[in-house]
A and B are shown apart, each in its own frame.
Chain A
Amino acid sequence: MITLLKDEEIILIQRRHWLPFLFEILPLAILTCLPFIFALFIFGGYLPSNLNNVFLNYKNYYFFFSFVFIFILWIISIVLWTNYYLDIIIITNKRIIDIEQFSFFSRDESEVRFEDIEDVKIEINGFWESLLKFGNIYIQTAAESGEFKIKNIENPEKIKDIISLQKEKVAEKKIS
């Protein structure tokens, strides 16, 4: 949960793009199918009968350990999904908050106020990034931290526009 400052309103909550997450989860999905493919091969009568009889004696153990394996993959998937789900960027009328969940108990929360922003740059690199509209945003700040980087975010152009607009609004408010 994010604690908002006085008079602070959330403008946008944006998650990272799902493609990098898909590349993480895809090997696990393939691994989940493996015990069933092996079962078809081992118990489907494709082996010589003497070897087939040996495997049939251990059929129950095979399925028990297969489901244990699938259960472990399920838990790993949920952990990866949680890391993806809790990785977000929040734009309010006062600041940008970037939350990166690396793993359990490893979390990075950084923020930059609009008055500290000097320059915003987006980077869309590669075929998939261009096709699915996601990329990185670099925010140059006047603060000690220097550059603020938001990785693999959806619609970087839209976010850049929102940041620029909000930066202008904050600057106007300051002058008036």
Chain B
Amino acid sequence: MEYNILNIISAVVFLLLIIGFVIISLILNYHWNRYEISIYKTALIKKVYFIVSSILLLVILLLFLNLKK
């Protein structure tokens, strides 16, 4: 029962995290594209942001899948 509640909370948190990430990424992307001064620097920022975020999200996903076991 306790584990079920924790699993539900984890699933909700994971879902909210994905939704939040998509929204924030869209807003950041808009700001970087609209107000950038250097195209190359902005491209580098985007790469770093999406690579680090993807790695962290992958780790979170693996940990989330591990909860179900």
Contact = CB atoms under 8 A, between A and B. Distances in A.
A74 B28 contact: no
B10 A61 contact: yes
Interface of A: 1-2, 13, 58, 60-61, 63-65, 67-68, 70-72, 74-75, 78-79, 82, 85-86, 88, 99, 101, 104, 107
B6 interface: yes
B45 A64 contact: no
10 residue pairs, one from A and one from B, having the closest CB atoms: A64-B63, A71-B56, A67-B60, A86-B35, A60-B67, A60-B66, A67-B59, A63-B63, A104-B27, A61-B6
A62 to B, nearest CB: 10
Nearest to B53: A74
A1 B66 contact: no
Contacts of A107: 35
Contacts of B14: 68
A107 B30 CA distance: 14
Contact of A86 (B10, B20, B31, B63): B31
Contacts of A60: 63, 66-67
A99 B11 CA distance: 41
Nearest to B39: A1
Contacts of B53: 71, 74-75
A79 B24 contact: yes
Nearest to A90: B37
Q: Among the interface residues A60, A64, A67, A85, which one has the most CB atoms of the partner chain B within 10 A?
A: A64
A104 B63 contact: no
A83 B57 CA distance: 24
7 contacts: A1-B37, A60-B66, A67-B59, A68-B13, A78-B28, A82-B31, A101-B31
Interface string B44-62: 0100010011001101100
A107 B27 CA distance: 14
Contacts of A71: 17, 21, 53, 56-57, 60
Contact of A64 (B24, B35, B36, B60): B60
Given A61-B67, A64-B67, A82 B28 contact: yes
A45 to B, nearest CB: 22
Given A60-B66, A61-B67, 17 more contacts: A1-B34, A1-B36, A60-B63, A61-B6, A65-B10, A68-B14, A68-B17, A68-B60, A71-B53, A71-B56, A74-B56, A75-B21, A79-B24, A82-B28, A85-B45, A88-B37, A104-B31
